[in-house]
């Protein structure tokens, strides 16, 4: 998907049908359990099975383990994806954040995190890093880390940078490949008018 949520993109590389990937069925069942669907970007990675195996492992480690709240990780990923211009991943992360218990009004307001009263200073520090680091790595600053260290341990900061780095890969993969957005995240993204929301607006 690119442009906006109503503009369907034809995948540039077709997905490998799930029934041709029996070795990955345990991974797919975990994805269905946590997301409600198997992402099409994973099915395009399956053309290189070793890549899908490796990526599935690192993605699960970064997003499903650790000390940082999983909902906050998804908001960090959502802001990073917006900074990178990836519509597919913005839809995924908004839907996942809501599924993890982030209130819809907070998901809707995430791009106004600096001014919205819905966000704490700790959350603002995390989301500010996501914005700056995703724009380009050297856009992040020492002052970003000073703000982070007021609220988070070194381990937690490492987790957040890992989320930003993971979505650097996913953003470039998903929109470059023209990954087709699945019905569940598309419906949620349309319900919050995601395509009209911009960072800093």
Query: What percentage of the chain has pLDDT greater than the value 90?
Result: 89
pLDDT digits (tens, 9 = 90+) for 123-177: 999 999 999 999 988 889 999 999 999 999 999 999 999 999 999 999 999 999 9
pLDDT digits (tens, 9 = 90+) for 71-110: 999 999 999 999 999 999 999 999 999 999 999 999 999 9
Residue where the block lists tokens 């993605």 = 59
Q: How confident is the model at residue 6 (pLDDT cuts 50, 70, 90)?
A: very low
Instruction: Report how far residue 53's alpha carbon sits from residue 118's, in angstroms, rounded to the nearest whole number.
Output: 38
Domains of the chain, each with CATH number or no CATH: 69-196 (1.20.1290.10)
Task: Look at residue 1 and tell me whether its pLDDT is greater than 50.
Answer: no
Q: Which pLDDT score, from 0 to 100, does residue 9 have?
A: 65
Query: What percentage of the chain has pLDDT greater than the value 70?
Result: 95
Task: Look at residue 3 and tell me whether its pLDDT is greater than 70.
Answer: no
Q: How confident is the model at residue 7 (pLDDT cuts 50, 70, 90)?
A: low
- The angle subtended at Cα 19 by Cα 16 and Cα 24, nearest 5°, is 80
Nearby residues of 107 by Cβ (< 8 Å), 6 or more positions away: 75, 78, 94, 97, 98, 192
Full DSSP string of the chain: --SSTTS----SSPPPPGGG-GGGHHHHHHHHHHHSS--HHHHHHTTSHHHHHHHHHHHHHHHHSSSS-HHHHHHHHHHHHHHHT-HHHHHHHHHHHHHTT--HHHHHTGGGTTT-TTS-HHHHHHHHHHHHHHH-GGGS-HHHHHHHHTT--HHHHHHHHHHHHHHHHHHHHHHHHTPPPPHHHHHHHHHTTGGG--TT-
Nearby residues of 106 by Cβ (< 8 Å), 6 or more positions away: 75, 118, 119
Asked whether 181 and 1 are in contact (CB, 8 A), the reply is: yes
Residue where the block lists tokens 């957005």 = 181
Q: How confident is the model at residue 199 (pLDDT cuts 50, 70, 90)?
A: confident
């Amino acid at each position: 998907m690119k442009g906006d949520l109503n503009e369907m993109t034809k995948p540039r590389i077709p997905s490998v049908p799930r029934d041709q990937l029996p070795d990955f069925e345990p991974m797919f069942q975990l994805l269905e359990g946590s997301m409600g669907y198997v992402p099409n970007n994973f099915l395009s990675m399956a053309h290189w099975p070793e890549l899908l195996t490796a990526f599935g492992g690192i993605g699960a480690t970064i997003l499903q383990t650790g000390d940082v709240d999983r909902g906050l990780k998804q908001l960090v990923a959502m802001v990073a994806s917006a900074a990178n211009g990836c519509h597919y991943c913005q839809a995924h992360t908004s839907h996942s954040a809501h599924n993890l218990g982030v209130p819809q009004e907070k998901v809707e307001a995430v791009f106004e995190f600096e001014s919205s009263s819905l966000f704490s200073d700790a959350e603002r520090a995390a989301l500010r890093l996501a914005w700056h680091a995703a724009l380009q790595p050297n856009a992040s600053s020492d002052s970003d880390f000073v703000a982070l260290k007021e609220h988070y341990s070194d381990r937690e900061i490492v987790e957040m940078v890992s989320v930003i780095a993971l979505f650097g890969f996913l953003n470039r993969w998903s929109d470059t490949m023209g990954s087709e957005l699945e019905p569940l995240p598309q419906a949620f993204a349309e319900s919050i008018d995601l395509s009209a929301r911009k960072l800093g607006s």
